[in-house]
Chain A
Amino acid sequence: MPDKKRTVRVPIGPQHPALKEPESFMVDLQGEKISSVALRLGYNHRGIEKGCEERTYMQDLFLLERVCGICSHSHATAFIQAVEEIAGLEIPRRAKYIRMLIAELERIHSHLLWLGVAGHEIGFDTLLMYSWRDRELVMDLFAELTGNRVNYAMNTLGGVRRDIAPEQFPHIQKIVDALEERTKYYIELAMTEETLAQRLSGVGYLSKEDAIRLGAVGPTSRASGADRDTRRDDPYAAYDELDFKVITDDHCDVFGRTVVRLGELMQTYSMIRQILKQMPEGPIAVKAPLKIPAGEAVSRYEAPRGEDVHYVRANGTDKPERVKVRAPTLANTQSVAKMLEDGYLADLPIVVAAIDPCFSCTDRTIAVRGDRDSKTMGWEELVQYGVRWYRDRGVDPSRIKVRGDESA
């Protein structure tokens, strides 16, 4: 029994150094050990659901893409699937394949990002540098395929907005091959590197019963042995035409969550190869009405962090009556308190990071603040600005060659 007199209450957050997003933890400590945790969420509430009711379906598509910087395609697809179901639209098979391709590339970028953050939280910054360097490959590929590194805007009502040319396939293939090699290295690292296993094993324990009871989703639940994946159980797009395994693990701790995500990456590479091989010919979108007939639908989507659930009710106009969004982090935060109980305070950052809570991403152009005529910077200009910024502070990135920079 916890001794109430000797309990120390430590408020952590909403602003804190370990996590990039605001969340507040009221932690009760008995010595070094956590006896209970109370969470307060909602600091990032932006009223998007209300906003959706006041905008058209097409505007909502782009608004919902901004629910999350990393899972942007996930939310946009989950929403548009529901609208298409209400409208009775059957989208072309090629559009389904392009949606899956972007979805699986997004999973690579999310899981590699997570691996880096996890490395960072346990003081293994080399892993962060490695995995984020590798992640650049897929980010640049996104820029090539969609025109943007995040918020790809590939979806439209009735299909996708951009086609992928067959000439682009070999390049996608090459990047997938390179990332597969790297992931094999990370798997070997996870399986053989003693410090990693010792630091992660037994940390943030969540039993299978608790994972199910508390509604954990995605890799968090699969690492506790729950054999669930919406792509297999309730297939959308054309996932029923792909051959893949659902990765589960019974370690039930942060180590298990690492193993599951790395295993999922290997499945994703195989799925992308199948998508490229089986990509059907044909149109990429069908004509869609602006007004959606009255009706309702629920769409489920396996985002990198777990299941996205979107509910849409239409009332016959061009604006929805109601849009409800459930992002996977909300489902997973319910288990965090359980994972932290009886653990050490020092494990808090990695345990919280292990559910992969949603972080924001930067865009590639920035607006200069403090200047009345704010201007935007192109990519080259931004790189030069970054190099100059460090040089002014005494760091000389002389190995980086920047076109048009005479001061080097």
Chain B
Amino acid sequence: MSEAEALVAQLVATFPALTGRVTIQRAKRVWIDVDRQAFPEVFRRLAKDLGFEVFCMITGLDEGADLGLIYHLARNDGLMANVKTRCPKGESMQTITSIFPGGGIYERELIDLLGAHIEGLPEGSRYPLPDNWPKDEHPLLKDWKPREKGAKDA
């Protein structure tokens, strides 16, 4: 049994709801599709018990009514687990900073660029947009278009 297959077996044994939702893309890439409610538990288990101690990044996606979120984790043996979940726009996700204190900057990026709501994020300056950037404009949303050059602020 390969490392990836072993991981799938471990995950499905603990979380029966994940049956059929963990896929092996190639030897070092595993994708886990998890509901928002079950996400914190699955994420914690991967990070704390299954050795995924390398936090790579979070990818945010505009999927219409939902924000798609992919948390990319890796293990020291090179195996990468990509945990995918969806959060309806306007609702909030729990912060991961209690597990990965360095993860805050990636969450701030989701807030600025995609308008995500993150609960429990420690106070700090925004990232990466300037301080005077309008609060309700999130450039990575599909319906956001840059203003014409020279256009006046609304």
Contact = CB atoms under 8 A, between A and B. Distances in A.
Interface of A: 38, 40-42, 45, 47, 49-50, 85, 212-215, 227-228, 230, 232-235, 297-298, 300, 307, 309, 311, 313, 321-322, 324, 326, 330-331, 333-335
Given A41-B105, A309-B72, A326 B80 contact: no
Task: Tell me which of B72, B101, B102 has the highest count of chain A C-beta atoms within 10 A of its own C-beta.
Answer: B102
A307 B73 CA distance: 13
Given A230-B78, A326-B56, 13 more contacts: A47-B146, A49-B140, A85-B26, A213-B101, A233-B76, A298-B82, A307-B56, A311-B70, A322-B61, A324-B57, A324-B59, A326-B57, A335-B102
A234 B125 CA distance: 34
A215 B102 contact: yes
A275 to B, nearest CB: 21
Nearest to A235: B78
The prevalent SS among residues of B at the interface is mixed
A134 to B, nearest CB: 33
A249 B140 CA distance: 40
A131 to B, nearest CB: 30
Contacts of B103: 215
Contact of A313 (B56, B61, B126, B129): B61
Interface size class of B (residues with CB under 8 A): 35 or more
Interface in B90-126: 100-103, 105, 113, 124-126
Interface of B: 25-26, 28-29, 53-57, 59-61, 70, 72, 74, 76-80, 82, 100-103, 105, 113, 124-130, 139-140, 146
A307 B100 CA distance: 17
B34 to A, nearest CB: 16
Contacts of A335: 102
A303 to B, nearest CB: 13
A326 B55 CA distance: 11
Given A234-B80, A300-B80, A313-B61, A334 B102 contact: yes
13 contacts: A38-B124, A42-B130, A45-B128, A45-B129, A85-B26, A212-B53, A215-B102, A233-B76, A234-B28, A297-B25, A298-B82, A300-B74, A334-B105
Given A213-B100, A234-B80, A326-B57, A50 B140 contact: yes
B59 to A, nearest CB: 4
A61 B127 CA distance: 25
Nearest to A309: B56
A228 B125 contact: no
B59 A233 contact: no
Given A234-B28, A309-B56, A228 B102 contact: no
| Smallest CB-CB A-B distances: 6 pairs | A42-B128, A233-B78, A234-B78, A334-B102, A215-B102, A326-B57
A298 B80 contact: yes
Nearest to B84: A296
Interface centre among A227, A228, A335 (most CB of B within 10 A): A228
B129 A309 contact: no
Nearest to A221: B54
Contacts of A300: 56, 74, 80
